[in-house]
Amino acid sequence: MPRTPTTTPRPTPHDQAGTVPEPRVPDPVSVLVVEDDDTIRRAVQLALERYGYRVDVAADGLSGLEAFRAGGYDLLILDVMLPELDGIGLCHRIREESLVPVLMMSARGDALDVVAGLEAGADDYVIKPVDTPVLVARIRALLRRATFQPSQSPPPEAPDHVLVFGDLSVDTLGMEVRLAGRPVPLTPTELRLLLEFAAAPGSVLDRRRLLREVWDYGWEGDTRVVDLCVLRLRKKIGSGRIETVRGFGYKLVRD
């Protein structure tokens, strides 16, 4: 005689009241890729989706700007050479409105492309064609900087979480920087760079160390990234606050 299948009774509202809800699965990281080459755009999209990212794409700068304003993305990947509005101009527009992490892609290893992208406010860059693991590693490093939190929190009454250097103050708990009492908007990369300097005021930090600690490079990186980010940071906190030590690196002036 066939067995009658058994079913588990559905919990009643009374039963559910005492249960612990399932933990919420975090939303996937959302990425906007702006690339005019159909083959490259599709390849990057499919590669990142295989790693679990939610990816939207745009084929020109103006469409990318429109998508950025409508989307609320966690990270942007911009090609340098774009129709309608090039990647440098697009990055400038984005930086006027947001501190979202930006990764530039260039088909050439041209120094002018790299410098222009970083001066426009990009956090990092890659040269096409780029291997998927390298691209994903750069993305993860950018996202870690964007979500950086101190590893240890001092007691609320301890004043040493606010570091003061003349008219510049750095709150390492609130992740807030003020210059002469006014808040200074910094990108996540700029903030990580300033925190690295503030942790060792007066000490010279070489570019390789900064690439490792701020950009999270486990390989040899382009030190121009450091130089351009220092330049942007100086414009925001004062040109004399970070001093160049020729042949060695940079240091934060104590007062």
**In a 3-state reduction of DSSP, which class is residue 214?**
coil
Contacts of 109 (CB under 8 A, 6+ apart): 127
pLDDT of amino acid 47: 94
Which position has the higher pLDDT, 250 or 217? 250
Per residue in 32-56, pLDDT (tens digit) is 999 999 999 999 999 999 999 999 9
What pLDDT, on the 0 to 100 scale, is given for residue 18? Answer: 43
Nearest partner of 10 among 248, 19, 2, judged by Cα: 19
- The model's pTM: 0.73
Contacts of 100 (CB under 8 A, 6+ apart): 68, 73, 74, 75, 76, 94, 146
Share of the chain above pLDDT 90, in %: 49
Per-residue pLDDT tens over the stretch 85-119: 999 999 999 999 998 999 999 876 666 777 888 88
Tens digit of each residue's pLDDT (9 = 90 or more) over 165-198: 988 999 888 888 999 889 999 988 899 899 999 9
Residue with tokens 């083959």: 39
Q: What share of the chain is helix, strand, coil (3-state, %, to 5)?
A: 40, 20, 45
Cis peptide before 129 (omega within 30 of 0): yes
What is the pLDDT confidence band of residue 148, given thresholds at 50, 70 and 90?
low
State the pairing for strand pair 205-206/176-179.
unpaired
CB 46 within 8 A of CB 3: no
